[in-house]
Chains A and B, each alone.
Chain A
Amino acid sequence: MTTETDINLQGVNGDQEAAAVGIKHGKELMLLGEAVATRDQSLLKEARQRLLDEAGTSVLVDAAGVAANFQRMVRIADSMGIPIDDMESDLGKSVRTELDLTRYASAANTLQ
């Protein structure tokens, strides 16, 4: 099942307006994730307050959980050197192309 909602993937690359397309509080959620991952304390304080003001405490807590979880997942993937499971899926191919993911060093774990 899908939501059939139009979104703009460039939100993943930090485009704030794109992050808001089709996703409630998308801009604020994206900025919180960005602040957590960049470890910029002033950005984090600002992003936390913006999300709190826009969406409230429950959203902030759940968003913090997701960001924290994916700080972990990337480290599992890269530390163990795992390749992508299915390089042939059309969806995966289009996402990797649009976001230009092969520029990352860890692409070698799949492409070598």
Chain B
Amino acid sequence: MAYFEYSNSPYPIRQDIKKEFSEFWQRLAKPGSWWTGAERVAIAQESRTAVNCSFCSIRKQSLSPYNVTGEHGSDSGLDPTTVDAVHRIVTDQNRITRSWVESLPDAGISTEGYVELTGIVVCVFSIDEFHRALGLPLEDMPEPVSGEPSHYRPAQAELGTGFVPMLPREGLTGAEENLWPNGRNANVIRALSLVPDALRDWLALSSAIYLSVEGMANLIGQDDRSINRMQMELIAARVSAINECFY
């Protein structure tokens, strides 16, 4: 089945956006590093449910999100801890704490699983936000591909930055030798590196809807974009401010 054709879109959508979204959708459906294809698609579906979750709305208003009890409206079949993680990332991300992340393995989600889950949620969420911004219907979820996750964990990942292990800035070897695009290794690039494919996914999507990491070095603007870098950064900064993003 073909995805992201935009045949009924009132706005022409760039070919590279169609390509990257479509390729991500295919990867989403396949077994990942720590979740099966069915689980990955369920996590993606749950990210859509979270957007309109009434319990999340109540929790968002509370002084401490960790003292509010209730149930998310969920129909994905995922366990409650996984559902809650997805909803927190979508609706209350700036109150996620180290202690909550560190509690996840005891609740049944490995740290590696949490990183992959985050990667799925943020990629699907940004594709959906692109559609919502343009008033376009959301794409149908892909059909999951059977198989088992690889359980691949890069040997060089280490704790020390943020809540989860990440790959070091220098000296990457093996399959991760060229993971840092153009050698760029800011923390936001390192963030998902415990699951290298999650980082690869976000870099690919970013190159289509924002800029490639190489393109980020160009402070003027790219010829294949209709807005220049200042215009992009104004939008980026306003979105980040409303999300109360310190980073």
Interface residues in chain A, defined as those with a beta carbon under 8 Å from any beta carbon in chain B: 1-3, 5, 7, 11-14, 19, 22-26, 29-30, 32-34, 36-39, 44-45, 48, 55-85, 99, 101-102, 104-107, 109-110
Contact = CB atoms under 8 A, between A and B. Distances in A.
Interface residues of B, number: 71
B234 A23 contact: yes
- Name the prevailing secondary structure of the B interface residues: helix
Contact of A71 (B208, B239, B244, B246): B239
B246 A109 contact: yes
Given A66-B232, A104-B245, A75 B122 contact: yes
Given A30-B235, A58-B12, A61-B13, A70 B162 contact: no
A79 B187 contact: no
Given A81-B96, A105-B94, A70 B235 contact: yes
Contacts of A30: 234-235, 238
Interface of B: 10-14, 17, 51, 89-90, 93-98, 101, 115, 118, 121-123, 125-127, 129-130, 132-135, 161-164, 166, 186-188, 190-192, 202, 205-206, 208-210, 219-220, 225-232, 234-247
Contact of B247 (A7, A32, A66, A109): A109
13 contacts: A19-B238, A24-B231, A33-B234, A37-B243, A58-B226, A61-B11, A65-B17, A69-B236, A70-B235, A70-B236, A70-B240, A72-B202, A73-B188
Contact of B246 (A57, A79, A110): A110
A21 B133 CA distance: 24
A63 B247 CA distance: 21
B90 A75 contact: yes
B122 A3 contact: no
Nearest to A73: B188
Contacts of A48: 133-135
Nearest to A31: B238
B191 A80 contact: yes
B247 A106 contact: yes
A77 B220 contact: no
A11 B238 contact: yes
B90 to A, nearest CB: 7
A37 B238 contact: yes
A91 to B, nearest CB: 12
A104 B202 contact: no
Given A11-B238, A65-B130, A65-B209, A77 B192 contact: no
A107 B246 contact: yes
B131 to A, nearest CB: 8
